[in-house]
Structure 1
Amino acid sequence: MDKRVISAIIAIPLLLFFTIKGGIIFKIGVFILSLIGIYEYSNAYKNTNNKVIVPILLFGLLLHTVILNMRNLEVLFPLIILICVVSMATPIFTKKYNIISSAITVIGFIYIVNFFGFLVLLRTEVQGYKYIWIVFLIAWASDTFAYYSGRIFGRHKLCPEVSPKKTVEGAVGGILGSIIGLIIWHFLFKDITIPVAHLIALGFFGGIISQIGDLSASLIKRFVNIKDYGNIMPGHGGVLDRFDSILFIAPIVYYYIELFIV
């Protein structure tokens, strides 16, 4: 517990600094997180027969960063196609990789590079500084409420083969927590006139997606037989351990705001 507290004391001010500053500072922060995420993801597969094609992920990250800076968003989908084609072509020319390597490389690009990029897109919106906290509040509130709801009321296992400790009651608590978190956001940023009904809907879907993100990360870790992706935050694990829910929530919040609010 001491390690977790110390890590949080260091990490929270850093998160606040990068998020409040925005602009190039925030983009640099997300770029660094993406690099660490790529390292953790590829390292997770190092003891398996399926290696991640790291040069493709790094190449994709550089191109993705340039595209985001140019706000040339219509090129993002062709970039995913390019990454897919190059990943599938690589095992043809080298026996170091196989078709599973191609698959996990494409997944890694979408999961890490593309999903982290949605934090940048969201932060650069006109009210981006306030919108970005929707992502964090959904993730934190869902995680916190799910944990305590599971401990107090948990009776029925949710996905025992993926995460033995998670319960249905905890999952319901996580969804309620996300909704409560966005109600709190509503009172913190009263100048943004988002109908409460939208926040409830976003909290409901966000709470579900948040837990799917958490379970998806656990599924990968079970597949490669590791406990944590890394130890950059003692007591918390690696970047992908801490951002597993946030990565899934970011695109949902971005598109919801783009479609229904902005």
Structure 2
Amino acid sequence: MLKRSLTTVVSIILLIPVLLFSHTAFFPFAMAVLTLVALFEMFGCIKVEKNLLLTIPLYAAGALLPFIVRYLPDTSKISLGETAVLIFIFLMLYILALLVFTKKKTTCADAGCVFLFAIYIIFGFSGIVYLRDLENPHIYLLILIGAWSTDVFAYLFGVWLGRHKLIPDISPKKTIEGSIGGSIAGAGAFVLTSYLIDITYIGWGYIIAGGILVTLVAQLGDLAMSAIKRQYGIKDFGWIFPGHGGVLDRFDSVLAVSSVMTILFALINILR
């Protein structure tokens, strides 16, 4: 418990400058670093870290996309969405080519898992940069507060009131009571933050619905990563956060929430 608490304190201290300098190149750099570490952890889990033909292009995409999201000029002939689609298609075709030309080294199962998880990780962290650079530069905070408050309160309510297991085959310690408590508290934190960062103009109904959606997605992301760890027989993805595991262990719910919120706000911008 002491190790987990110390790691939490140190993580908060390290997070503060990332948030304070989110308007500078330091922010996409931090997201790129997190992306690369998360990819390394996932490749190690799937046991493909030595297949450089498979992993290097994905590392490159993970390092570059946060900067592309921020610095692609508004006057560019190609939009941010089109750029993301092109990257997606290139990686898909590249991995399909590997299946043809390196069939002894790259299996269909490995290629499919790597492509799915890499896209999820890369676009999840890059989505945080996208949301940071919207008209209201504080919207991205909803990802962190919504996801982490749900995690924290689900744990606290689970310890306090937990009696009934949620999905014991995937995550034996999670309870239905903890999930409900985390959802209520997480949605409340989301709504309060929405008020503080002044996005109430979109309507309270949308904000409350968004808060509920975020808490559900956060828990889905957490459970999905737990299912992957069970599938591959590991306890944690990494060790960079002592007592918590790796980047994927700490940001599992954040990646899920970021992906959903990026899609929602992109649609809002298109429909405006």
The alignment's TM-score, normalised by the length of structure 1, stands at 0.90
AA matched with 2:120: Y
1:221-249 CA distance string (max 9 Å, x none): 11111111111111111111100000000
Q: Determine the C-alpha separation between the residues in 1 that align with 2:254 and 2:121.
A: 11
Instruction: Say whether the 8 Å CA contact 1:53–1:101 is kept in structure 2.
Output: no
Report the CA distance between 1:211 and its aligned residue.
Answer: 0.4
What is the aligned length?
Answer: 260
Which digits, 9 at most, give the CA deviation of each residue in 1:70-128, with x for residues without a partner? 15311211221221121122132221110111101211221111111100101111212
- Give the corresponding residue for 1:70: 72
Structure 2 counterparts to residues 15-26 of structure 1, below 5 A? 15-22=15-22, 23-26=24-27
Q: CA RMSD in A?
A: 2.4
Comparing 169-178 with 227-236, which one deviates more in the overlay? 169-178
SS of match in other structure, 1:53: helix
Amino acid at match of 1:211: Q
**d(CA) in 1 for partners of 2:152 and 2:9?**
17
What is the CA distance between 1:5 and its match in structure 2?
1.8
Matched, 1:239 2:239: no
User: Deviations 1:12-50 (Å, cap 9, x if unpaired)?
Assistant: 1221211221131100000010111111111112299x9
| Equivalent position of 2:119 in the other structure | 110
Contact 2:123–2:259 at 8 Å: present in 1 too? Answer: no
Letter of the structure 2 residue corresponding to residue 118 of structure 1: G
Q: How does 1:169-184 map to 2 (within 5 A)?
A: 169-184=177-192
Distance, in Å, in 1 between the alignment partners of 2:52 and 2:30 is 27
Q: What is the aligned counterpart of 1:79 among 79, 82, 87?
A: 87
- Distance in 2 separating the partners of 1:113 and 1:159: 28
Is the CA contact (8 Å cut-off) linking 2:58 and 2:118 kept in structure 1?
yes
Matches of 1:102 and 1:200 in 2, distance apart? 39
TM-score for the superposition, normalised by structure 2: 0.87
Of 204, 211, 220, the residue aligned with 1:212 is: 220
User: Percent identity among equivalent residues?
Assistant: 32
Structure 1 residue 186, shift from structure 2 partner: 3.6
Aligned pairs (5 A) from 1:1-262: 1-22=1-22, 23-46=24-47, 53-62=54-63, 64-65=65-66, 67-68=68-69, 69-70=71-72, 72-73=79-80, 74-94=82-102, 95-128=104-137, 130-190=138-198, 193-260=201-268
User: Which structure 1 segments of 5+ residues have no match?
Assistant: none
Moved more, 229-238 or 8-17: 8-17
Aligned residues of 1:51 and 1:101 also touching (Cα < 8 A): no
